Amino acid sequence: MNEVAKIAFGPIAAPHGGTFVVFVGADLKPGERTRALLGDFAPRIESAAKTAGFKGKTLTALDILEPAGLEAARLLVVGVAPGKDAKPLDFAVLGGFVSGKLGKAKQAAAIFESPAEAWDASAAAEFALGVRLRAYRFEKYKTKKSDSDGNGNGEEPLSVVVGVDDPAAARAAHGAREASAEGVELARDLVNEPPNVLFPESFAERAAALRSLGVEVEILDEKAMTKLGMGALLGVGQGSARESRLVAMRWRGAKTKKAKPVAFVGKGVCFDSGGISIKPAAGMEDMKGDMGGAACVVGLMHALARRKAKVNAVGVIALVENMPDGEAIRPGDILTSMSGQTIEVINTDAEGRLVLADALCYVRQTDNPQFIVDLATLTGAIIVALGHENAGMFANDDELAARLTSSGLATGETVWRMPLAPAYDKLIDSKIADMKNTGGRNGGAITGAQFLKRFVDDTPWAHLDVAGVAMSAPANEISTSWGSGWGVRLLDRLVADYYED
């Protein structure tokens, strides 16, 4: 993980050099202590704002260079006035906005004082999280570092000091968020890697690095998976020169080591050509990101272990390449899954559900979890339905669905519940096997979920179709990365709020 931002917390004090960040509301007046630090310059903000047409609206900024009388090269005035919708301020988004506005700055001091109500240590920690996440860049393969990307600092990370009332409390609140940020950055790195570097064996090695944090990592090769009967997963990978892998990562942080774990399963198709049902050439390069679900699970397990979460958790990632050589599965083939259920292959580009079928069965049988959440860049249909704003959520358990919804709203990684119903099962029933691997174009995201549901039995389960949010999603205030790392903060929050001792 590249270090692109250093965040520190200190007392509220005037900066020496660099960029000075202050916050104002609709009246364009900073908080009382900020005004004291600005001294005679404070009244000039209003006149400068009038000239620039700046009204202090949330996520707008007024940039003043070489402010007279201040020991700062630049004064960045950031608006936080509430809008008509009266939505509460998202401090991570605010931090990301400020980070983006800093541009080529190398040093900044943000006086974290509200012009109205008090901002606590938790808010300061969220702000710092947003600063860090927005500063992320993936430039390891660039021989010349860009001055225009990210914060434009080349090899030198952005350094931000957040001035708060109680620096110790802010640092304590930031600890867990720092672990989550590392997990997001790890997931982003994995999704951004090219497929000639990140393939099943090398991905498994990356996951094995979690052992340094106390995570137990088990890697199953093709021989082990064959013994377990994972014909669906192995079928997808048999057309590739790269061997498939299944990785199980176990964190045992609960007070009772035998407590049932929570489980997360990720689709890890390291490159998806579509197989014999080959994809169009245009945009196929994006299929290096078809392992976004697996990347999230690795990032989540890093976050849980890094913050020593008081929970038993297992993360399973199924790693394959879907390639079209002479050994590849064909439309019309029938595969036998680990569960014993048979699958008629209609389209080899509906491969993710085949991979997940065996991974879901594996974690259910070996770990007997409290619940399973799987993440997969499963269907283009979910993007048609929801765009790039929400992940599609399918669940057989209302409580788990409600908790995921709540955690999504808290982190900004939102989910939208989609239907499951027996009527959709008819679309994937096969005349010659237990099921088909696709039900056709209509309701494509739903039939994909109905397929997966057949492999969890009565275990509480939720499927998150993250095709629209894990890769190539539009940039936002906390991510300008092609690989977003979506889901790490959502699931970390889910565990923290509902499942820790």
**Residues recognised as catalytic:** 279, 353
165 burial (CB, 10 Å; 0-12 / 13-18 / 19+) is middle
Letter for the amino acid at 386?
L
3-state secondary structure of 7: strand
Q: Quote the CA–CA distance of 296 and 464 in Å, as a whole number.
A: 11
Task: Please tell me the distance from the alpha carbon of residue 205 to that of residue 224, in angstroms, as a whole number.
Answer: 17
Q: How far, CA to CA in Å, does 473 sit from each of 301, 391, 416, 483?
A: 23, 11, 17, 8
Specify the pairing of strand 158-164 against strand 216-220: unpaired
**Alpha carbons 204 and 244: distance in angstroms, whole number:** 10
Say which DSSP state 57 is in: B
Q: Measuring CA to CA, how many Å separate 161 from each of 8, 102, 106, 298, 421?
A: 5, 13, 11, 30, 52
Three-state secondary structure readout of 291-305: CHHHHHHHHHHHHHH
* In the block, residue with structure tokens 């929970």: 311
CA distance 206 to 328: 27
Tokens at 9, concatenated: 């917390």
- DSSP letters for 361-418: HHHHHHH--S-EEEEE---SHHHHHHTTT-EEEEES-HHHHHHHHHHHHHHT--EEE-
Query: What is the rounded CA–CA span in Å between residue 500 and residue 370?
Result: 12
- Maximum pairwise Cα distance, the chain: 82
